[in-house]
Amino acid sequence: MQTAALLCRLSSAFSSRSVLKARTPLVALTLVAASASAFAQQFSFDAASPFFPGLLVVSRSVYDNLSSNVQVGQVLPPNCASTTGGCSAASGAVSDGTYPYIWNNAGYDGSFGITSRIFLDQITPSGVPVSTLEVPNSLQRGAGPNQLVTSFSSKSELGLHLSTDGKYLTFIGYVAPVNTLDVSNSNTPGAVDPTNPVGESFYRAVARVDREGHFHFTETNAYSGNNGRSAILNNSNGQNLFYTAGNAGNGSNPQPNGVILGAGAQLIDPTRQPEAQQDPGTPTPVGSFSVTELGDKADKIGKDDNLRGMTIYNNVIYYTKGSGSNGVNTVYFLDTTGKACPSGVGVPAANAKLPTAPLAYNAATLQSTGLPSNLCILAGFPSTPVKTATTISYPFGLWFANATTLYVADEGDGYTGGADLFTHAAAQTGAGLQKWIYSASAQKWTLAYTLQAGLNLGTEYTVPGYPTGSNPATSLPWAPATDGLRGLTGRVENDGTVTIWAITSTVSGNGDTGADPNKLVVARDLLKNTSAAGAASEKFVTLRSAGFGEVLRGVSFTPGTGANGWF
């Protein structure tokens, strides 16, 4: 059967409004998801099989499992001897490139990672596979000069977002060949930090893909020493620019200006030039935050802007920070009015507009005080710096159901410090899907409850082909367990419920838990409910599990899908 004919069948069966509006109970979706396992074939993506509005896209990466990717005893990071950061003190890599043992090298090389292919899997809302689009890369025959990869074990990458008009899908990656080591901690060519022990440089790039599967890549010098994580295209009201989120820096303090400028929230002008003809300039930040806004002592310049997730709602950009030893793990918004948060905490102004120009800064004071602060902690969310907080949250993805209902994915604390890693994961109260409610009278948000049922936090699961027993390098079980949630998207249904799709995080004895095969899950929540008791019967079900050598990263609706998942 030809791909086009099969897709027509799938479109007829799963794109009808009776299915996509999900009027059926969640258990029905579970049964359909279970039947999806029969679709073992990954369908190709070509001009005859575009993205269908109303369906979902999941970003997936696959490791090219070759023992030759790393040699035992190999000195890492690459070209470390040419940097002032120097090489690791141990004798060399402890494992070759065989999956999953390769990730034990992270214990020797703190920058360890390897680039891998990116796939965009189109599925129905109930989990049935429809098509797969491979992002151009060096292993793909006839891919051409424009290519993009991810870092396989970098768990915070490949967030997926629709443009403000819903026509394009965007994400961020690296301009590098597949199977290149330590790219996720490399410098960018225009922002080199000589103290970074990774002695190589690669551009990061934003990918834009349309409904027909056509790609455009825009290179940037932002996120030197670390990774870009999400990108959103603002192409409404005559605008044409990317907002991105990520982290920068892998060297000593103080960091070079280019690293400070390339952290956190960026504004990037798209280009249609081929990658070989692009010459990105100095990074252009659009937002920044410092704990000094809260009256606290300054952190390492630029590290308060270690941003992960992002979204746009009602002309305001929201970001999350959920990792690192600096700053505040919480939800932020970018204040374009300059009046919403005089003390670092507040709510967006009613007349707020999306930014259209980079953040103005004083180059003479960049090393001493950093960038001006125009990111604000969303009132009601945690506002205590990580260094002094007794309870820490780990927010990642976020999605607004309406102006007073915000869902936040908390990925858990990632604890792998001992034999209690699974019981520790199971005991977390903040990990999972948090539902926050806004009070107009109090001018702040309040946590209503956290959905965890069905995630089976801390419960080991089996991955076919994965090693059994414990990893000798960590003395902990190879088997992964869910630790929380990362990327998510949602849709308000006509029956007053909300459907949330999310990607799980993991803990295990793997040398790098970002390399664990994880899951795509779905849950149904009653929109008007504000109490944990009212959500007692709600639970997540698994729509898809990553296989051996695979990881799932982001989830979004397809290009061409309208507001709230409709078309």
The tens digit of pLDDT for each residue in 177-212 reads: 999 999 999 999 999 999 999 999 999 999 999 999
Q: pLDDT tens digit string along 72-106?
A: 999 999 999 999 999 988 879 999 999 999 999 99
Q: pLDDT tens digit string along 224-266?
A: 999 999 999 999 999 999 999 999 999 999 999 999 999 999 9
Strand partners, 172: 206
The answer, yes or no, to whether residue 506 has pLDDT greater than 80, is: yes
Interior/surface letters 119-151, b for 16+ CB within 10 angstroms, e for the rest: bbbbbbbbbbbbbbbbbbbeeeeeeeebbbbbb
Q: What is the pLDDT of residue 200?
A: 97
Q: What is the pLDDT of residue 21?
A: 42
The radius of gyration of the chain's CA atoms, rounded to the nearest angstrom, is: 22
Confidence bin at 9 (pLDDT 50/70/90): very low
DSSP secondary structure letters along 96-153: -S-TTGGGGGGGT-TT--BEEEEEEEEE-TTS-EEEEEEPP-TTSTT--S---BEETT
The answer, yes or no, to whether residue 519 has pLDDT greater than 70, is: yes
Confidence bin at 429 (pLDDT 50/70/90): very high
First to last CA, the chain: 28
- Give, for 497, the enclosing helix (H) or strand (E): strand 497-507
Confidence bin at 17 (pLDDT 50/70/90): very low
Phi, psi of 7 (to 5 degrees): -70, -35
The answer, yes or no, to whether residue 12 has pLDDT greater than 60, is: no
484: nearest Cα among 465, 506, 515, 511: 506
